[in-house]
Each structure stands twice: as structure tokens, then as C-alpha cells.
Amino acid sequence: MDKLTSMIVFTKVAKAGSFAAAAKELDLSRAMATKHVMQLENSLGIRLLNRTTRNLSLTEVGVVYLERCLQILDDIEETELAVTRLQTEPRGTLKVNAAPFFGAYHLAPAIAAYNQVYPDVNVELVLQSGYVDLIEEGFDLAIHLDDLHDSSLIARKLGGSQRVVCGAPSYFKNRSVPETPNDLKLHNCLVNSSMPPRDQWQFLESETGKTTVVKVAGTMEANVADALRIAAISGLGLVLLPTYMVGQDLRKGRLQAVLTNFIPSPLEIHAVYPHRKHLSAKVRTFVDFLHERFHPTPYWEDWALEPGAMREEP
């Protein structure tokens, strides 16, 4: 028999001074209540209760055992309450993984806003590129900016980001603006070596639906996209980057978008986490918060709107 249940029965019998009263309180038969106490006594090899036809009393050892049982049951109740609060109330440490640029420029402000609403949650933000094993490295969730490779993870789409070809106004002073993707062959295109195929840019023409793939080349390549962004702002060449990186630069005029009738494949942004069942309150509320902040059209896509229609970044 379950020892914890037997301990509960024993405490009820000791407090009530009667097997019948304890059995009624626990919705058990008197025989079953008696069996639980006898099982405890047999496993301990001691008598816990003195029984007569009219009276029931604790033995000396039974008094000590009752005291310890009550402490154990109180500790269990307190533990269950604490765990339940973690599931129902956002609190504790939330460990989040994200790509460096997105994490620094978009997730960090979101965390600050989230913490205003949920001050009992401490966020540990780890910024790194590439795949991370959430379970092995102890992350509660990660923000993915590309295709999802691990089908065992639970994913929720938070929003998306278009990709645009852009360059600095200073770059175009002595160069023509490309009108078709093939014109890129005449331009200095800065290549992201971490995004295969690194030297092939693919476009979908918005009017005809025709797909074009252009092999590009230039005087710089880098495995970190932000380095290419900074080089482009400095006038070195053209870049193909997501709007979550260059939206603010386009709005401020530091970069100028070209080939806007030709659409590179967009990025989808997902929150991924290991489990759907018994999802903790801190994970659930954080994902909901990000979804509301970035969905359906995030603020970094406002670069193409008229200035009066632009939203302030949260």
C-alpha cells in the first residue's frame, strides 16, 4: 500500500480518536482505514495505537511518529503549493536563447517591457548564433529566425521579417540603381558567408511570380550579418538583409532599398520550447507577450510606410 496515504490515514485516526470518524472524513471504509494503520505498524515493526473496544490512544512511539508525520505532510503540501504557483503565476528564472542582433535590438527592449508586467520573473538572455539544444543546455525557450529543424520542439510563430536589398545613398552617388535582379552582377554585393548558398540571392517577381536566382560577388564577405550592415551603411556595397536588422536604417535614410518589386524569401520568427504539456506560467506569458508585440506585422516593417503612418518602436 502507498505509505504516504497510510501516513495521512494514521494522522486522521490519531486526531479523530476513531477509525470510523477518520474513515468517514477520508471517504474510506473503516476496514480500509484500519488496514492502512496496520500496514504502517507492520512496516515499522512497532505499535502506534493502543486499541480497546471503547478507546483509542497513541503509544509513546506513536506520539513521536505522529509529530513527524504531520511535519512531513506539511512539507509536502508546502512543496506542492510552491510548484503549483510556478505553473500558475509567472515567477522564477526564464532562460532564453536568441541570435545576437535580434536579441540585443528587439528582445532586450521586449524583456524590459515584460518585466514591468511580471516583476517576479528574472530573464537570463543568452545571445549566440546557430542551433542550440534547449534541453541539454537548460533553456526554457529560444527565438528562431530561420527554418525549424527539430520537429520534437513546440513552435509558435511570433511574426516575420522581409528581406531587402539595400545600400547607402553614398554608394549610389556614382552608380546606377539596379532595376532587375540581374543588374546586381554589376554591383559590389556584400556576402553573408553563414547563409548558404552564400553567393546566390533568390527573388520572386511580385507581378509575374517568376523566380530569379542571381550569383553575386563583392569585395567583402562576413559570417556575421551586422558587420555587412555596417559596411553597407559606410557605402561599401549592397546587402541582402532582413528588415528586423535594417528597418531602422531604411527609416532614417542611412540605407536605401532597391528592387522592391522583387521579393526575397522572408524569414519566419518562432518561439520554440521543449514541451506543450504543463507549460510553466513564465514561458506561457513571455511567449504571449512577444506574440502580441510582434504579430501580425512587426514594427520593423514600417520602413516602407509614409512617415505619418509609422508606429513608434515599443
The full 3-state SS of 21-88, as one line of letters, equals HHHHHHCCCHHHHHHHHHHHHHHHCCCCEEECCCCEEECHHHHHHHHHHHHHHHHHHHHHHHHHHHHH
C-alpha cell at 50: 493502543
User: Of residues 314 and 266, which shows the higher confidence score?
Assistant: 266
Report the pLDDT averaged over residues 230-243. 97
Does any domain span residue 314?
A: no
Which contacts of 133-137 are long-range, i.e. CB under 8 A and separated by 24 or more positions? 134/97, 134/272, 134/273, 134/274, 135/274, 137/97
One domain for residues 274 and 231: no
Same domain, 108 and 245: no
Residues 147-192 have pLDDT tens digits of: 776 667 889 999 999 999 999 999 999 899 999 999 999 999 999 9
Whether residue 167 is found in the same domain as residue 154:
no
Last residue of a domain, one of 88, 120, 141: 88
Provide the domain count of the chain.
3
pLDDT at 148: 73
* Reported confidence tier of residue 1, pLDDT bands at 50, 70, 90: low
Element (H, E) at 154: strand 154-161
Give residue 97's pLDDT band: very low, low, confident or very high (50, 70, 90): very high
52 and 140 co-located in one domain: no
Q: Check whether residue 120 and residue 190 sit in a common domain.
A: no
Q: Are residues 100 and 66 in the same domain?
A: no
**pTM strictly above 0.85:** no
Confidence category of residue 248, pLDDT binned at 50, 70, 90: very high
Report in angstroms the alpha-carbon separations of 37 from 70, 79, 112, 120. 15, 25, 55, 43
Q: What pLDDT score does 306 carry?
A: 60
